[in-house]
A and B are shown apart, each in its own frame.
Chain A
Amino acid sequence: MTSRQQVEQALDAHADELSAYPNVVGIGAHESAGRPRSHALAVYVAEKKPASELDAGDLLPGFVEITVEHQTVKVPVTVIEIGEVRPEDTAGHDAENRSIEGDDGSTFVAQ
């Protein structure tokens, strides 16, 4: 059973690696509604895609590993679709500027 502390540790250890996957807009902690509560690392994506449409290297891992008292512990990863995240003003420059893509072609461009 994964604890909240283990998820926090996994977030610190794997934030950069997980946020580099295409389509990822954010990461955080997930808690299931049932009892007992189970904790997981949440990866928020703009759009959930079937594994068959992704290159093998772009498929998010099912878990990440952390070290707790010299033991390797697996922390489950939950993928949650929330759509693209954007600043929430209403701007005249929205249409043009916010669709400019980054040089790296990443998919989390704000709109």
Chain B
Amino acid sequence: MTTTPHDLEFVLESVTAGAAASSERIMQIEEEHRPWVCGDGVQALGIGHKITDGVDTGELALRVYVEEKRADRKIDHPVPKRVDAIDDGPITTDVIEIGRLETELFTGTSDPLAPGVGVGNPLDDNVGTLGALVRRRSDDALALLSNAHVLARDGLSAIGEEVVQPSTRDGGVPGSDRVGRLAGFQPFEFTPTGFPNLVDAAIAELDGGRPSAREIRLLGHAPRGITKNVRRGMHVHKVGRTSDLTTAIIQDVHFRLQFRLRKTARRRERVGFRRQVMCTRFTAPGDSGSLVLSSTGRAVGLHFAGSMTASIFNRIDDVLDALDVDLVLEGGS
């Protein structure tokens, strides 16, 4: 029996179903093939004609895209030659080397407006990341959370300045792409010595022109709570405008940092931060403002700075207290 495009689609859907398996049978297929589908090296799956020695055989195959081909004995869970999942007969696989798939910037319009996308202040023509939705404790107003250096021009802004998504850097237009207005930020304390600052944080109140969603892009869920329990060696992840979903390991929970921010439009001065958390590098310029989450999906911090080898975040409880807001959580109101 020959396999039909429909057979191929069914097998592709089944082996990649993950937790979304809709039937007992699909669940079984997914489980059986999970080790190699989710294995090291497999980057993507698809459907196409099998190519053998550079010749199109005309036979439909399940295509498995890898960074580079390696001998089966060097792989824990090699891709099987055939997938036997349907009554019509085995499906042939075709392993194709396509090099490393890189993430691309999220520069598009997010509608509904969701955390994990780029936002900016048009007066700075900059871009950072919308970290999370928050509610102001005083009046329950819905706002978006990011850094003061992203939304509030290092603290030089006046309340009410526009926040646009996408940012003007990413092609957004002031006015028509406005999603909110600056509603509050923690001013920086500039000192020649000492580390008095705790956060680099700001909120913009949503103006309701675009609907919003609490679920973080690529994760599909909102933060599941917050945790103050931040330990060295702990694994964390974030979703940012530039580097998407990435993970890191915490290196130092006593981190005190000094760098320069604008004190006036023309002059930068020293700002010292204490109670910061330093982790292995998992961010890139444009990711500032990303919410940092624990492996259980609880918020632990707000990313704001980085170097060649490190990424640095504020503790989430310090951020929320400084701005007098609460995170909009999964399952909350």
**A→B interface (CB under 8 Å):** 7-8, 11, 15-16, 19-20, 24-31, 42, 44, 46, 81-93, 97-98, 100, 102, 106, 108-110
Contacts and interface: CB of A to CB of B under 8 A. Distances in A.
B333 interface: no
A15 B195 contact: yes
B128 interface: yes
Interface of B: 120, 124-128, 147, 149-150, 154, 169, 193-195, 200, 232, 242, 252-262, 266-270, 272, 276, 278, 283-289, 303-312
A88 B258 contact: no
Given A29-B254, A108-B258, A93 B310 contact: no
A62 to B, nearest CB: 20
A108 B272 CA distance: 12
Contacts of B150: 89
A90 B286 contact: yes
Contact of B285 (A8, A81, A85, A89): A89
Nearest to A26: B257
Contact of A87 (B120, B253, B288, B308): B288
Given A7-B254, A42-B252, A85 B259 contact: yes
Contact of A19 (B252, B254, B258, B311): B258
A98 B289 CA distance: 19
B261 A89 contact: no
Contact of B310 (A85, A87, A97): A85
Contacts, number: 143
Contact of A89 (B147, B262, B268): B147
Contacts of B232: 31
B286 A89 contact: yes
Given A15-B195, A89-B286, A27 B124 contact: no
B259 A89 contact: no
Contacts of A31: 232
A88 B306 contact: yes
A43 to B, nearest CB: 10
A86 B128 contact: no
B284 A28 contact: no
Nearest to A109: B260
Given A26-B278, A31-B232, A83 B309 contact: yes
B202 to A, nearest CB: 12
Contacts of A16: 193-194
B258 A25 contact: yes
B277 to A, nearest CB: 9
Contacts of B200: 87
Contacts of A82: 278, 307-310
Interface centre among A11, A89, A91 (most CB of B within 10 A): A89
A85 B310 CA distance: 8
A19 B128 CA distance: 28
Contacts of A20: 193
A97 B150 CA distance: 15
Nearest to B256: A27
Contacts of B254: 7-8, 11, 28-29
B200 to A, nearest CB: 7
A24 B193 CA distance: 12
